[in-house]
């Protein structure tokens, strides 16, 4: 598709600096710009690319003032990053969507399929399932008995959804993810063996949740594992049984949450965060990459990092000391020798 600067500025309610009739038909990073491409500049570290970029149009913040001549047409908006994201969404939504049910799909007779859906090749939909209007279920997806998908969900190739799971509207599940597999429940026996505890619960995923590729979300032992509305999970995340993740919480890749932990709303977790079981994380908590959480985080909107995690400011002060430990060790050894010498005298 092709758009003029005037069309883009109209959609974004932006101000044009340059040629309103110039056209773009692709997108590119500002450092990799080419004729006919749209780019954006939000991070000041990338400003130097603006003066040499070959991109035809660049989105910038309204407050931005160039320090040299710019060859591209600029569109000034309130927030260049958000504006670029909204344009990408517009382009994505304008793409033609597949519809219809492929002949190789297996759909049990008791399943209910909504209107305007796509069900791809070699997909299985179990007994008493409900697939909402406008859903897209791509090839090789397995959907177990009694599972319900709300309207306009997208289930990407190879996703496996076990029985009795419930999804809200507008959910996106990426390839290879497994939802509703058994929680890690085993009871130790007197002979040192472990007896499997049946996992009788389910998984509930509320509206507008997006889950990355190769994520696993375990069903509850009893009750439900719950992912609240607006949650965004990166790839390769593990959510244990009976966990509850609060609204609009985001987690980066390789985060792991042990069973029965309750995560508040509006939290942000960096990559490889590990959270112990049966604890509570307060609303608005921010955990830095590789943070290890062993106990409750009670105070809301705190930022912590490290393993075990501590307040970010404390961690940074401690980091300064960590670097000096070898030097401090030499000084301590020297002082110990002096003290021993003085004792002998």
On the question of a cis peptide bond just before residue 192, with omega within 30 degrees of 0, the verdict is no
pLDDT higher than threshold 90 for residue 102: yes
pLDDT in tens, 315-345: 888 888 888 888 888 889 889 888 888 888 7
Indicate whether 191 pLDDT > 90. no
Which segments of 105-179 does DSSP mark as H helices, in order? none
Q: What is the CA radius of gyration of the chain?
A: 27
Once rounded to an integer, what is the mean pLDDT over residues 188-213?
95
Mean pLDDT along residues 121-138: 98
Q: Quick one: pLDDT at residue 232?
A: 98
The pLDDT value recorded for residue 295 is: 95
CATH (one of 3.40.50.2300, 2.40.50.140, 1.20.1630.10, 2.160.10.10) for 100-311: 2.160.10.10
Q: pLDDT grade, residue 277 (50/70/90)?
A: very high
What distances in angstroms separate CA 191 from CA 122, 186, 187, 194, 197, one per listed residue? 44, 14, 11, 9, 17
What is the predicted pLDDT for the residue at 341? Answer: 85
- Res. 132: pLDDT tops 90: yes
Q: Looking at the predicted structure, is the pLDDT value of residue 1 above 80?
A: no
Choose among 70, 65, 217, 123: nearest CA to 135.
Answer: 123
**DSSP E strands, 35-190:** 37-41, 57-61, 73-77, 100-101, 106-107, 112-113, 118-119, 124-125, 130-131, 136-137, 142-143, 148-149, 154-155, 160-161, 166-167, 172-173, 178-181, 186-188
Q: Could you give the count of Cα atoms lying within 13 Å of 165 in the half-sphere of its Cβ?
A: 27
The per-residue pLDDT for 24 is 95
Residue 41: its pLDDT value, please? 97
**Predicted confidence (pLDDT) at residue 164 exceeds the cutoff of 80:** yes
| pLDDT per position as a tens digit, 52-86 | 999 999 999 999 999 999 999 999 999 999 999 99
The pLDDT assigned to 318 comes to 84
Percent of the chain having pLDDT more than 90?
84
* Ranges for all domains in the chain classified under CATH 2.160.10.10: 100-311
Q: 118 pLDDT exceeds 90?
A: yes
Residue 292 near residue 307, CB atoms below 8 Å? yes
Q: Which whole number is the average pLDDT over 202-231?
A: 98
Per-residue pLDDT, averaged over 175-199, amounts to 94
- Residue 160 pLDDT > 90: yes
Task: Identify whether the C-beta of residue 64 lies closer than 8 Å to the C-beta of residue 43.
Answer: no
Residue 312's pLDDT is what?
A: 86
Displacement of CA 342 from its chain's centroid (Å): 62
**What pLDDT does residue 97 have?**
86
Q: Sorting pLDDT into bands at 50, 70 and 90, what band is 95?
A: confident
pLDDT confidence of residue 202: 98
Please determine, for residue 89, whether its predicted confidence score (pLDDT) is greater than 90.
no
Largest separation between any pair of C-alpha atoms in the chain: 96
State the fold for domain 3-94: 3.40.1390
Please write down the HEC assignment for all residues of 271-291: CCCEECCCCEECCCCEECCCC
Distance between CA atoms of residues 117 and 119, nearest Å: 7
Check residue 101 and give its pLDDT. Answer: 97
pLDDT given for residue 57 in this prediction: 97
Q: Which of 259, 278, 260, 297 is nearest to 269 (CA)?
A: 297
List residues with catalytic annotation. 241
Distance CA 60, CA 67 (A): 13
pLDDT of 199 higher than 90: yes
Output the pLDDT for position 274: 97
pLDDT tens, residue by residue, 248-264: 999 999 999 999 999 99
pLDDT averaged over the chain? 95
CA distance readout (Å), 137 to 83, 121, 232? 30, 9, 20
Region 84-112 average pLDDT:
92
Q: Residue 323 has what pLDDT?
A: 84
């Amino acid at each position: 598709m092709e758009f003029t600067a005037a069309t883009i500025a109209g959609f974004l309610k932006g101000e044009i600096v340059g040629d309103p009739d110039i056209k773009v038909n692709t997108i590119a990073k500002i450092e990799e710009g080419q004729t006919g491409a749209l780019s954006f500049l939000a991070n000041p570290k990338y400003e130097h690319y603006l003066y040499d970029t070959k991109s035809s149009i660049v989105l910038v913040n309204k407050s931005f003032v160039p320090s040299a001549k710019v060859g591209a047409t600029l569109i000034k908006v309130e927030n260049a990053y958000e504006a670029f994201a909204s344009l990408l969404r517009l382009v994505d939504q304008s793409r033609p969507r597949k519809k219809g049910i492929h002949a190789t799909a297996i759909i049990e007779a008791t399943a209910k399929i909504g209107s305007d859906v796509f069900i791809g090749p070699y997909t299985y939909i179990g007994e008493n399932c409900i697939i909402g209007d406008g859903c897209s279920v791509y090839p090789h997806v397995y959907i177990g008995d009694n599972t319900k998908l709300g309207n306009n969900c997208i289930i990407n190739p190879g996703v496996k959804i076990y029985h009795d799971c419930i999804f809200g509207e507008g959910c996106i599940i990426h390839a290879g993810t497994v939802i509703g597999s058994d929680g890690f429940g085993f009871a130790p026996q007197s002979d040192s063996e472990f007896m499997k505890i049946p996992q009788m619960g389910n998984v509930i995923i509320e509206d507008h949740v997006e889950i990355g590729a190769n994520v696993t979300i375990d069903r509850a032992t009893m009750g439900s594992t719950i992912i609240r509305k607006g949650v965004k999970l990166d790839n390769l995340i593990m959510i244990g049984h009976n966990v509850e993740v609060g609204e609009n919480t985001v987690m980066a890749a390789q985060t792991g949450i042990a069973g029965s932990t309750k995560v508040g709303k509006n939290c942000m977790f960096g990559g490889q965060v590990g959270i112990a079981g049966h604890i509570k994380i307060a609303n608005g908590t921010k955990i830095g990459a590789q943070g290890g959480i062993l106990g409750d985080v009670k105070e809301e909107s705190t930022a912590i990092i490290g393993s075990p995690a501590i307040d970010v400011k404390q961690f940074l002060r401690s980091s300064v000391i960590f670097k000096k430990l070898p030097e401090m060790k030499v000084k301590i050894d020297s002082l110990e020798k002096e003290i021993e010498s003085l004792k002998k005298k």
